[in-house]
Amino acid sequence: MTSGAARYFAMAQKELLELVRSFKLLWVPLVFVLLGIMQPVSMYYMPLILEKAGNMPVGSVIEIPMPLGAEVLAQTLQQFGTLGLLVLVLAGMGTVSAERNSGAAALILVKPVSSFSYIASKWTSLLLLAWGSLTAGYLSSWYYTSLLIGEVDASRVLGSLLVYGLWLSFALALTLLFSTLLRSPAAAAFSALGASAALSLLAGVFPKQAGWLPGSLSGFAYQIASSGSAGSDRFGWSLACTAAAIAGSLLLAGQSLKRSASVD
């Protein structure tokens, strides 16, 4: 093992400890599990809720078709894409900028630790948080969906989970990049959320021209969950483009951190 890798592992270990000590590893997955459970349960009780709470005239009959299990899972992913993404980005917004503002980053980086292994260790902990929460939430949603609404193929669940996880990883790479470039954590969260929302919007409005952008990944994940395949020849391009964008933003973050480790 080279010394660079050894240092990276030491740093990553410290980041994981930080994740546990700030209790993020506990409450973020709990929120995802809650979001995941709520979707199938509220779809299951929708007729009952409308009947009790709505101001329906007496005798009116509402026929709401029970959705397919696969559609409920796609809706769960949409929940993760709004509330879940918000929670993840807000939890990750201070990863670099808070340590730079407090001077801790400068203290670490005077030691023989490269700025790239610093960024890589931060990235590892964010990835663990995102994938752990997404998996926990999605699996509990799957369990409830098959219990209440209908069975869904494991292959669809796995496929959409992987694609959606890549989308979340991309959003977190943006968060890390903006957290390095910008001084305030709030500005970093705002830019990362804005950029991912703009990309999704672009991919949604121009699916032909912008289908290869990372923003279309969430749409592909819904497609895989509800119909079993991404159904577009741009899917592969989109995967490759996202991987490249993640690598690019991490490199850029490391480069900019190398230039100025502390904020004066």
Residues that bind another protein (CB under 8 A): 18, 21-24, 26-27, 30-31, 33-34, 37-38, 41, 44-45, 47-48, 87, 90-91, 94-95, 98-99, 148
Closest approach, Cβ 28 to another protein, in A, equals: 8
Nearest to another protein of 39, 169 (CB atom): 39
Closest approach, Cβ 141 to another protein, in A, equals: 12
CA 137/CA 132 separation, integer angstroms? 9
Nearest to another protein of 66, 245 (CB atom): 66
- Both tokens of 245, joined, read 């964008």
Nearest to another protein of 47, 194 (CB atom): 47
Closest approach, Cβ 48 to another protein, in A, equals: 5
Closest approach, Cβ 264 to another protein, in A, equals: 20
Nearest to another protein of 186, 240 (CB atom): 186
Closest approach, Cβ 1 to another protein, in A, equals: 28
Nearest to another protein of 102, 209 (CB atom): 102
Closest approach, Cβ 188 to another protein, in A, equals: 12
Nearest to another protein of 3, 60 (CB atom): 60
Please identify which residue in the block is written with the tokens 């021209």: 209
CA dihedral 106, 107, 112, 117 (to 10 degrees): -60
